[in-house]
Amino acid sequence: MHETTLLLIEVGALLLGMSLLGRLALRIGLSPIPFYLLLGLAFGQGGIVPFDASIEFLQTGSEIGVILLLALLGLEYTAGELFESLKSARAAGIVDGLLNALPGAALALLLGWGPIAAVALAGVTWVSSSGVIAKLLRDLGRLSNRETPALLGVLVLEDLAMAFYLPVLSAIVIGVSLWQGAIAVAIAVTVVVVILYIALRHGNIVSKLFPADHAEPLLLGVLGLTMLVAGVAQEVSVSAAVGAFLVGIALSGRVAAAASQVLTPLRDLFAATFFVFFGLTTDSSNLLSMLVPALVLVVVTSATKVATGAFAARRAGVAALGQWRAGFSLIPRGEFSIVIAGLAVTAGVTPALASLATDYVLLTIILGTFLARMPDAMWFRQAVRRRRLAKEPAPS
């Protein structure tokens, strides 16, 4: 069979399966993310029928999906709101790094993998998945919630921290000189500062480049600028997601509202592709080898992420229920964790790190997707209310 024909068949079958599973998820009141992951596992390496012809196509689609998720998330906020969120999230960012990186480093040392693996696994457990969390917030209708700016502040700080962490990790695992690592960090930070400056100070000029009343040039222009900035950011070891998010922040007014409307269908398509692709590229036959250590790590770092989210939301003046929502939403890890593990294993660090990271990411995505909905349940709301009342002093 011709390769293009096979690609069309595979992509068509996956899209149809995603549609049916998405409808099932809506019917039973769950997020479709775990279903998309399981669909990818079923037709990935070690699955029922491996889909090979569509891998490269879906990889590109998944990268576009993460970029669009963060770009549209950025469209919901102004540059001023982002700046305030980053200022208020500084303390939470420090807490986040300490609480969530240390368990990964400790486990690597306990397993006897050595200090380099410890640095890599610390990154795997530290960084939450901006793509997964952005989709969760949208699916649950929480983009305008009071805790969301604090949550985004933590995510943006994590992604910005990767501009420092990834070049340093590369220097450690590959063995490049300290000078080369310092140059890479300096370039990454410079690009971030330039993008931030344009977004904060000249966002109105950027918005004037696009016609709010004409859908086609608006779609092409905003999508083109978003992908261009994301690509430049990624080239200098900055998260493409950060670049896309800042483009969304830079746009404002009618242009932002119109761009959100025309880009939403594309985001829905490519974001779903991201989760299916992750499953497709996971070798399900290797998942059992590191399942127990991954489960231990999931339990510990889920608790630390909940503590991080609660701390960030509490500092922003958010009530107890919002603190729980923020904490549960931060649990999923994703794209960065896999990139970090892949970088370490490619450089010769123990191959078991890849299996552990894969198990860990899958489990945190599935667990986080379910727990994120829990604060909406009546029994949970009542439990939080009873706890709050129990802490209040009795009337004299």
- The confidence score (pLDDT) of residue 104 equals 95
Q: What percent of the chain has pLDDT over 70?
A: 91
Candidate from 71-75, 220-224, 288-292, 369-373 with smallest mean pLDDT: 71-75
Q: What is the pLDDT of residues 342-377, one digit of tens each?
A: 777 767 778 788 889 888 988 998 899 889 989 988
Per-residue pLDDT band for 177 (boundaries 50, 70, 90) equals low
Look at residue 103 in the predicted model and tell me its pLDDT: 95
pLDDT score, position 105: 94
**What confidence score (pLDDT) does residue 166 get?**
72
Options 1.20.1530.20, 3.40.190.10, 3.40.50.300, 1.10.1740.110; CATH of 3-377: 1.20.1530.20
Query: Lowest-pLDDT range, 186-195, 283-292, 301-310?
Result: 186-195
200 versus 122: the higher-pLDDT residue is 122
**Confidence band, pLDDT 50/70/90 cuts, at residue 251:** confident
* Confidence at residue 50, expressed as pLDDT on a 0 to 100 scale: 78
Name the residue ranges covered by the structural domains of the chain: 3-377
Q: pLDDT tens digit string along 120-130?
A: 999 999 999 88
User: Is pLDDT above 60 for 396?
Assistant: no
Q: Confidence class of residue 110 from pLDDT cuts 50, 70 and 90?
A: very high
| Range of lowest pLDDT (4-8, 229-233, 296-300, 338-342) | 338-342
pTM of the full structure = 0.75
Write the secondary structure of the chain as one string of H (helix), E (strand) and C (coil).
CCHHHHHHHHHHHHHHHHHHHHHHHHHHCCCCHHHHHHHHHHCCCCCCCCCCCCHHHHHHHHHHHHHHHHHHHHHCCCHHHHHHHHHHCHHHHHHHHHHHHHHHHHHHHHCCCCHHHHHHHHHHHHCCCHHHHHHHHHHCCCCCCCCHHHHHHHHHHHHHHHHHHHHHHHHHHHCCCHHHHHHHHHHHHHHHHHHHHHHHHCHHHHHCCCCCCCHHHHHHHHHHHHHHHHHHHHHCCCCHHHHHHHHHHHCCHHHHHHHHHHHHHHHHHHHHHHHHHHHHCCCHHHHHHHHHHHHHHHHHHHHHHHHHHHHHHHHCCCCHHHHHHHHHHCCCCCHHHHHHHHHHHHCCCCCHHHHHHHHHHHHHHHHHHHHCCHHHCHHHHHHHHHHHHHHCCCCC
Please determine, for residue 275, whether its predicted confidence score (pLDDT) is greater than 60: yes
- Say what the pLDDT of residue 200 is: 72
pLDDT value at residue 143:
83
pLDDT at 26: 79
Per-residue pLDDT, 74: 79
Question: By mean pLDDT, which of 118-122, 146-150, 161-165 is the weakest?
Answer: 161-165
Q: Higher model confidence: residue 177 or residue 264? A: 264
Q: Above 80 in pLDDT, residue 247? A: yes
> Quick one: pLDDT band at residue 394, thresholds 50, 70, 90?
low
Average pLDDT of the chain, as a whole number: 84
Over residues 129-139, the pLDDT tens digits come to 887 888 888 88
Average pLDDT over residues 274-289: 77
Averaged over 300-324, what is the pLDDT? Answer: 93
Share of the chain above pLDDT 90, in %: 27
Q: What is the mean pLDDT of residues 263-268?
A: 88
Confidence of residue 222 (pLDDT cuts 50, 70, 90): very high
